[in-house]
Amino acid sequence: MIAERETRVLNTVQAINEALDLALAKDPRVVLFGEDVGAMGGVFRASDGLQQKYGEKRVFDTPLAESAIVGFGIGLAMAGLRPIAEIQFAGFLYPALDQILSHLGRMRHRTRGRFTIPMVIRAPYGGGVRTPEQHADSPEALLCHVPGVKVVIPSSPERAKGLLLAAVEDPDPVFFLEAIKLYRGARSEVPEGYYTLPIGKARVVREGRAASLFCYGGMVEVCQKAAEVAAREGVELEVVDLETLVPLDTETLLESVRKTGRAVVVYEAMRTGGFGAEVAARIAEEALDYLQAPIVRVAGWDAPYPPFSAVENHYRPDAKRVLEAVRRVLTH
């Protein structure tokens, strides 16, 4: 039982490093590779020390070629290994879209189940730390539109460790997106040892009856701050961490809407075509009769993410924008 274990306070990078270490130790089929993951230990140090511990055959660097990294991983998985590929930033995934769209999610169906691709593709995403251009993209909606893959986005160190180990055990490809802002900005009690958390389950991180806030990854922290402010004014908001976008836990989502009657969806990708549109559509299709106000989305703007500047404070949703949306659904 996880609840009975000893815990330590870790940040998200430390929790991910620990999960990778445990996965490599448990299963000799697990290999870890990507740009600078070996001697350097990864651009964010998530694989720090692992090449020294497990050797260059299991933890190794690759050329600067994202399409080759993903294609190489697909081949390794078909040969019986369990590859974990690191893409330095999710905004660098685009050269690999041919491998992702044409092969990664299709192999189980193409081979009628004779081959699966038990591969994890880790990538940091999102803003909040003033990175250069293309380093803060949030392409989760793009990935969610690829049939045959799962998309997981943890919101805390404890969730990151358990979900990453579950992703490594999964028989099908999993995109594991890690919010850059949380790498060193989030710390929590993390259980010792090996444990997994279920993929495909959302969780209510704060209960309330006035309105539901649906979020994931770096936006969970933002929504919790908004809920704390609202609570001081006597408004109890429910915060639901979707955690897995594919497969989406629709039932937990709908259960919350049936209770509160009002929904705000928060994500930091651009608004148009973002994953929040899918959440809003599911609510409209299956819980319309429970709604007391239109669903409101809080998202990034329909523009490239602003690099290197304080302008990103106006792009990335914050608690103030979430509370403005809450006022809209409460006063409708």
Residues 6 or more apart whose CB falls under 8 angstroms from that of 118 comprise 77, 82, 168, 170, 171, 172, 173
Q: Which residues are part of the catalytic machinery? A: 135
How do 211-215 and 187-191 pair as beta strands?
unpaired
SS3 letters for 159-201?
Answer: HHHHHHHHHHHCCCCEEEEEEHHHHHHCEEEEECCCCCCCCCC
User: Per-residue DSSP letters for 240-291?
Assistant: EE--EEETT-HHHHHHHHHHHS-EEEEEEEESTT-HHHHHHHHHHHHSGGG-
Q: Please calculate the CA angle 31-70-175 and round it to the nearest 5 degrees.
A: 80
Written as six digits, the tokens of 138 are: 């949030």
Distance of CA 180 to the CA centre of its chain: 10
Are the CB atoms for 188 and 44 separated by under 8 Å? no
User: Taken in order 96, 97, 98, 102, is the CA torsion positive or negative?
Assistant: positive
Count Cβ atoms below 10 Å from residue 233 Cβ, excluding itself: 7
Count Cβ atoms below 10 Å from residue 29 Cβ, excluding itself: 17
Burial letters 49-68, b for 16+ CB under 10 A, else e: ebbeebeeebbbebeeebee
3-class DSSP state for residue 212? strand
Rounded-to-integer distance, Cα 274 and Cα 278, Å: 8
